[in-house]
Amino acid sequence: MLGEMWQFRGRYKILHMTWFAFFLSFVVWFNLAPLATTVKADLGLEVSQIRTIAICNVALTVPARIIIGMLLDKFGPRLTYSILLMYAAIPCMMFAAAQNFSQLVISRLLLSIVGAGFVIGIRMVAEWFPPKEIGLAEGIYGGWGNFGSAFSAFTLATVGAWLSFGGVNPLTGEALINWRACIAGTGIIAAIYGVIYFFNVQDTPPGKVYRRPSSARGLEVTTKRDFWFLMLMNIPLTGILMLLAWRLMKVKFYSVNTMYIVWIALAGLYLFQAYNCWSVNKELLSGKKRYPAQDRYNFSQVAILELTYIVNFGSELAVVSMLPAFFEGTFELSKAQAGMIAASYAFMNLAARPGGGLISDKLGSRKVTMGVLTGCMGIGYLLLSTVNSSWFLPAAVVLTMACSFFVQAGEGSTFAIVPLVKRRITGQVAGNVGAYGNVGAVAYLTIFSLLPSWLGGGAEPSPAIIAQANSIFFQIMGVAALIVAFLCFFVLKEPKGSFAEHHEGELETASVPNMSNIETEINF
């Protein structure tokens, strides 16, 4: 596969077009970070307000990944990805036209939905590549697409300055940055590519059937025990949204009473989701339906993958947010120097995530690969907790990049397993696992933001307290990763057909015409 990867035809064309769709969705999703200080100064925002907008950037991604997973399984990745990319232009234009804090929050909440695009390509790639190559293919999709966040960080400020046509702030003498045109432009480019994507890809190779669940309203399980396990694992998805609602109240975006109303609405959302899952599985629960052994899957395997994505992708989002300030404060570097060093963490995505998938393909056991990478990640975070000003700076940078490799390789190995759990519900499994990555990010970032206050007794934290908080933060992530590594070794099971030439059920249906593609062509 490595030698054929650079071709732009057949399945490799689908892979390249799909990772670039993911790349653009991440450019849009992360287009605020490099322009945040400019937006803050231009609209006269407070620090707490700009941080609130950053939180809103991930708020609706959690439920959106679940919903997108359902739509994906029902309508196929081609249509779902195209519509999501075209939708991206709407919140981007709204944000670019915003004149006050409330408008920024609303548009950013809507824009956070674009972050759910990741799960769509997981199924698209899985439809075109066999299990024995799925790790590398999904790793390329995830790693190269994920680089969109780093691309935004490195280019948007420069593009914004170019779009200001050399304008200078008369008060400070600094170059002006046209953040409005920059953010609107990312959305417009994504929308144009959405049209291109629709007319240049297919859901499946010729002659292959796109397998859909009987209902996409909720996740299908195959035993009664798994249904109650599913209900339990859905609780954190609602709980993290309640935590975000509390954070918005703390920055005085709304009152305590409004927060309670939001909490009640979120509890209702959980009950609605539970009802949908019951509707999908009611025949199983009533005893009218019983799955044959060969058609069952263990939901516990999905739950472990959700936990692995908390500790790898969740921690990545958290570390990317705090790493520049960590290096700046620990080694007394300039903001530019600290930012460049911290960027090495994101740059590792280009090689680390495909590397994790390739290791998963070649090692012969996806379970062992997952456990080893997660364990090494935990050790890496524990070592990072010992970094202080007495460390040799290059050694700290090397350790950071090594830890980054295991984090992102772990992400690649997670999604080398996801498409093999149960093919017809791959979109929903990917949506649930992906949503837990955002659960982890919000949980870690909340702990990180509160640690200095807890350690300092509520007073303004000193540099020593901040250093202690950083150390404890890395220790929390390290211990969590080691616990999940233990589960990978002793609870996670090797998926059936991990290295097969064909996906589950594919041989039996290979000769049947691809009706989903035929219907799509008729409808559109």
Check: CB of residue 407 under 8 Å from CB of residue 204: no
pLDDT of residue 510: 43
Q: How far is CA 155 from CA 73, 94, 151, in A?
A: 35, 22, 6
Q: What is the pLDDT of residues 377-417, one digit of tens each?
A: 999 999 999 999 899 999 999 999 999 999 999 998 898 89
pLDDT of residue 491: 92
Q: What is the pLDDT of residues 457-477, one digit of tens each?
A: 777 778 888 889 999 999 999
Question: How far is the first Cα of the chain from the last one, in angstroms, to the nearest whole number?
Answer: 33
- pLDDT > 70? residue 167: no
Give buried/exposed letters for 80-109 (b at 16+ CB in 10 A, else e).
bbbebbbbbbbbbbbbbebeebeebbebbb
Query: Residue 73's pLDDT band (boundaries 50, 70, 90)?
Result: confident
- pLDDT > 90? residue 25: yes
Q: What is the pLDDT of residues 196-243, one digit of tens each?
A: 999 999 999 988 888 887 777 888 999 999 999 999 999 999 999 999
Rounded Cα–Cα distance for residues 483 and 386 (Å): 20
| Crossing angle between the packed helical segments 77-87 and 10-29, to the nearest 10 degrees | 30
Mean pLDDT of 159-187: 75
Q: What is the pLDDT of residues 434-458, one digit of tens each?
A: 899 989 988 898 888 888 888 877 7
Check: CB of residue 12 under 8 Å from CB of residue 136: no
| Collapsed DSSP state (helix, strand, coil) of residue 296 | coil
pLDDT of residue 420: 86
Check: CB of residue 186 under 8 Å from CB of residue 27: yes
Q: What is the pLDDT of residues 319-375, one digit of tens each?
A: 887 887 888 888 887 766 777 777 777 777 778 888 888 888 887 788 999 999 999
pLDDT of residue 91: 96
Query: Residue 3's pLDDT band (boundaries 50, 70, 90)?
Result: low
Query: Residue 262's pLDDT band (boundaries 50, 70, 90)?
Result: very high
Q: What is the pLDDT of residues 87-124, one digit of tens each?
A: 999 999 999 999 988 899 899 999 999 988 989 998 99
Rounded Cα–Cα distance for residues 320 and 326 (Å): 10
CATH match of 10-515 with 1.20.1250.20: yes
Report the predicted TM-score, pTM, of the whole model to 2 decimal places. 0.83
Q: What is the pLDDT of residues 292-329, one digit of tens each?
A: 988 889 999 999 999 999 999 999 888 887 887 888 88
Check: CB of residue 309 under 8 Å from CB of residue 410: no
pLDDT of residue 166: 62
Rounded Cα–Cα distance for residues 246 and 327 (Å): 30
pLDDT of residue 523: 34
Q: How far is CA 119 from CA 55, 84, 332, 443, in A?
A: 21, 12, 39, 21
Check: CB of residue 421 under 8 Å from CB of residue 503: no
pLDDT of residue 498: 67
Rounded Cα–Cα distance for residues 441 and 317 (Å): 6
Q: What is the pLDDT of residues 498-517, one digit of tens each?
A: 666 666 666 544 433 443 33
Check: CB of residue 507 under 8 Å from CB of residue 378: no
518 vs 467, higher pLDDT: 467
Rounded Cα–Cα distance for residues 517 and 199 (Å): 12
pLDDT of residue 341: 79
- pLDDT > 70? residue 34: yes
Report the percent of the chain where pLDDT is more than 70: 91
Quote the mean pLDDT of the chain. 85
Which residue bears the tokens 């899985």?
A: 126
Q: Rounded to 5 degrees, what are φ and ψ at 366? A: -70, -30
Mean pLDDT of 46-74: 83
Tokens found for residue 519: 């219907």
